[in-house]
Amino acid sequence: MSARPQPRPGVMQIDAYVPGKSKAAGVGKIHKLSSNETPLGPSPKAAEAIRSFEHLELYPDGAATKLREAIASRYGLDPNRIVCGAGSDELLSLLTNAYVGPGDEGIFTEHGFLVYRIAIQAAGGTPVVAPEKNLRTDVDAILQRVTDRTKIVFLANPNNPTGTYIPFDEVKRLHASLPPHVLLVLDAAYAEYVRRNDYESGLELVATSENVVMTRTFSKIYGLANLRLGWMVAPPHIVDAVNRIRGPFNVSGPAMAAGIAAIQDEAHVARAVEHNERWLAWLTREIEALGLTVTPSVANFLLVHFPSEPGRTAKDADAFLTSRGLILRQVAAYGLPDALRLTVGSEEANGLVVQALRDFMGSRNA
């Protein structure tokens, strides 16, 4: 017998999620461009909803009724098919716990969100990685890895950290080729930023299928990351399963109030989209002009690739940028050691990061 409690087999083999850094020693002003947070901040209406919130001594509505109704009104959904959570991360874990167990497999793509692997392993399942093609989801590679043990497939569209996406026709092809017992989870955390005619977040597919779920978040374009708020829409039988294992008060009252105000402030979202469209294109052009490769992105961040020779690596660039108070995200944990992920920031931050990269590349050339 052990002298102390032991985690069940497999738990200590999980690599814990490590967030990007947010500090730089000895630097005055910091521009945090590592977590894909919106530079516009939350809607003023959402901020006011938090400030005016009362009765912190009372438990929140465990069903998040008013928030679900606000989401349903915004997207034309049935509120009974919506579940809210403490960020979409919680919902991804709840879905995995509900449908994956020991001996089961879960599939995600080569450079997919790290939480997918963690959720599958935490449920006792086996992670299965599908290679990507040119940093994009390869539907055929996913389908080739489906077996009788496959219980869940995660598809981030757009994907983080690459910023790439696949057209809706490809999503439908993936779904049509999956066995009906396999749950397809469409992670649409960055859907609001996408401006492509062949893209859809997946609402239509959820509405017409029995094995598709879409998750969304208030952490990105709505600027409520600190409140931890997300939602999913799913067939009734999946909603029922998730609600049976969901914590009874998993979303706080202030978070719900802010979420309702945020999703109703469409003008603020439009400003965020406009800002992102302008600066995403500008950053791409300016950084490519320095001789660096940028993966085309439809989200609110860019994947910037660096040479592998000493003094010019992604790690060298990260140290140089950090010394100037510009915090980017190292993505070696995603299998991309030669790249950094750059969030589209404020006008000031965007200008500073391009100038810093210009200095970095120039000093190396010299």
Alpha carbon distance 334, 32 (integer Å): 20
Determine the pLDDT at residue 15. 86
Whether omega for the bond prior to residue 42 falls within 30 degrees of 0, making it cis, is no
Q: Which amino acid is at 128?
A: V
Domains of the chain in sequence order? 19-41+267-365 (3.90.1150.10), 44-264 (3.40.640.10)
Determine the pLDDT at residue 121. 97
pTM recorded for the entire structure: 0.95
Beta strands across the sheet bearing 339-343: 293-295, 301-305, 339-343, 329-330
More confident: 365 or 48:
48
- pLDDT-based confidence at 363, cuts 50/70/90? low
Alpha carbon distance 151, 252 (integer Å): 31
228 and 87 in contact (C-beta within 8 Å)?
Answer: yes
75 and 83 in contact (C-beta within 8 Å)?
Answer: no
Bridge partners, residue 259, by sequence: none
Whether 365 shows a pLDDT value over 50: the answer reads: no
pLDDT tens column, 238-260: 999 999 999 999 999 999 999 99
Determine the pLDDT at residue 20. 77
Report helix, strand or coil for 147.
Answer: coil
SS3 percent helix, strand, coil of the chain, rounded to 5, is: 40, 15, 45
Alpha carbon distance 131, 305 (integer Å): 19
Determine the pLDDT at residue 351. 98
Whether 364 shows a pLDDT value over 70: the answer reads: no
The fraction of the chain above a pLDDT of 90, given in percent, is 90
Helical pair 65-75 and 253-264, crossing angle rounded to 10 deg: 20
Distances (CA, A) of 46 to 54, 95, 215, 337: 14, 28, 21, 38
pLDDT tens column, 79-97: 999 999 999 999 999 999 9
Tokens of 126: 């086996």
Tokens of 127: 């992670």
Instruction: List the single range of 21-25, 253-257, 272-276, 357-361 with lowest mean pLDDT.
Output: 21-25
Alpha carbon distance 159, 134 (integer Å): 13
Q: Residue 365 belongs to what H/E stretch?
A: helix 347-365
- pLDDT-based confidence at 366, cuts 50/70/90? very low
Query: How many residues are given for the chain?
Result: 366
Give the β-pairing of 293-295 and 301-305. Answer: antiparallel
Comparing CA positions, the residue from 283, 359, 286 lying closest to residue 321 is: 359
Tokens of 366: 């010299």
Alpha carbon distance 291, 285 (integer Å): 10
Determine the pLDDT at residue 294. 98
- Average pLDDT across the chain, whole number: 96
